Amino acid sequence: METPVLNTPLQVLDNILALNLNITLWSARKKLTAEDFGGVELPPDDLASLGSKKICDPARLNVFTKLKARAFSLLDKHGVRFLSGWAIPEDKAGDIIQGLCEIRDEFFMEKQAFLNVYDAAIADWIARHPSWANIIENSTVSREYVDSRMGFSWQLYRVSPAAGLESDLAMTESGLHEEVEGLGSTLFSEIAKDAAEIWKKVFEGKTEVTHKALSPLKTMRNKLAGLSFIDPHVEPAVSMIDTALGSMPKRGNLSGNALLTLQGLVCLLKDKEALIQQTQALLATPKEEVLDGLLQGFQQEAPVLILPPENNLTPPTPCLDSLGLW
């Protein structure tokens, strides 16, 4: 089966907001110079270049890297990469901004705590490297400079096509159409990447997992559900995850057929083309027949799965609104 080409309509701009995140960190590094080596002959610049020197303990800055990763994870959990940031569902914007505010407040609290001990931190770093004290001392920067290099902010805005352009060509070549048209493909690419990570971390080589293994699948499911208006192929993907999760036993570890079902689902999710092909098939399948072929046709590590008839599962009725886009 040829993989369908996803083409997100421009009307989705009515249901999304764009968020641009700006987080800047101080690296605590300065470029090494020839003067740092006291006249030692070095190779010419066209042959080799010098690296960098650390002028403060990098461990003191790890917290800021982790907070930045948390902010990215929050946006990746709910949105899809778009323009220079993320496209997020408008109806989720309040919760997302609240989450960012919490991370930002923690960021600035940690920043102030670091600035309060900045001079002592530099002195401690020099004391730990007495043989290289001159190199460090000659490269230190002021507390005010560090303050200016550490920031956390964002811009939330609505995107709309430019109006009043002199020609249709200018409109179609504005670049926005291509960005929007690719949203569906980008979303499925992100799902495939997330599923590949879940496979490696949770399911690969396992014969038994706990119910915690369902958490990343639920997160992926909620992301797809929140962005279901982007493309008609998204809703069947949500239904597949719902059906698989609905078949899991409520208690005890997951093994046997339950584990194979999850492994098969993850294998399908991490194969973008196979997933789109399967959702295309489900779009053309009557709802009462969805379950019959839902977990078949996996093309990677996990075996083909057929749920036993005694499970007598009823697929959930999709309740996601297309918002009139298809």
Q: Once rounded to an integer, what is the mean pLDDT over residues 220-231?
A: 96
Confidence of residue 186 (pLDDT cuts 50, 70, 90): very high
The whole-number pLDDT of residue 293 equals 52
Lowest mean per-residue pLDDT among 53-57, 64-68, 117-121: 53-57
Mean pLDDT of the chain: 85
73 has a pLDDT exceeding 90: yes
286 has a pLDDT exceeding 70: no
Q: Which residue has the higher pLDDT, 35 or 324?
A: 35
> Tens digits of per-residue pLDDT, 141-174?
999 999 999 999 999 999 988 766 555 555 555 6
Q: Once rounded to an integer, what is the mean pLDDT over residues 271-299?
A: 69
The whole-number pLDDT of residue 160 equals 86
Confidence of residue 321 (pLDDT cuts 50, 70, 90): very low
Q: What is the 3-state secondary structure (H, E, C) of the chain?
A: CCCCCCCCCHHHHHCEEEEEEEEECCCCEEECCHHHHCCCCCCCCCCCCCCEEECCCHHHHHHHHHHHHHHHHHHHHHCEEECCEEEEEHHHHHHHHHHHHHHHHHHHHHHHHHHHCHHHHHHHHHHHCHHHHHHHHCCCCCHHHHHHHCEEEEEEECCCCCCCCCCHHHHHCCCHHHHHHCHHHHHHHHHHHHHHHHHHHHHCCCCEECHHHHHHHHHHHHHHHHCHHHCCCHHHHHHHHHHHHHCCCCCCCEEHHHHHHHHHHHHHHCCHHHHHHHHHHHHCCCHHHHHHHHCCCCCCCCCCCCCCHHHCCCCCCCCCCCCCCC
The whole-number pLDDT of residue 219 equals 96
The whole-number pLDDT of residue 31 equals 83
The whole-number pLDDT of residue 141 equals 94
Q: Once rounded to an integer, what is the mean pLDDT over residues 207-233?
A: 96
40 has a pLDDT exceeding 50: yes
Q: Once rounded to an integer, what is the mean pLDDT over residues 129-139?
A: 90
* pTM value surpassing 0.85: no
The whole-number pLDDT of residue 173 equals 57
269 has a pLDDT exceeding 50: yes
301 has a pLDDT exceeding 80: no
Confidence of residue 306 (pLDDT cuts 50, 70, 90): very low
The whole-number pLDDT of residue 170 equals 53
The whole-number pLDDT of residue 25 equals 97
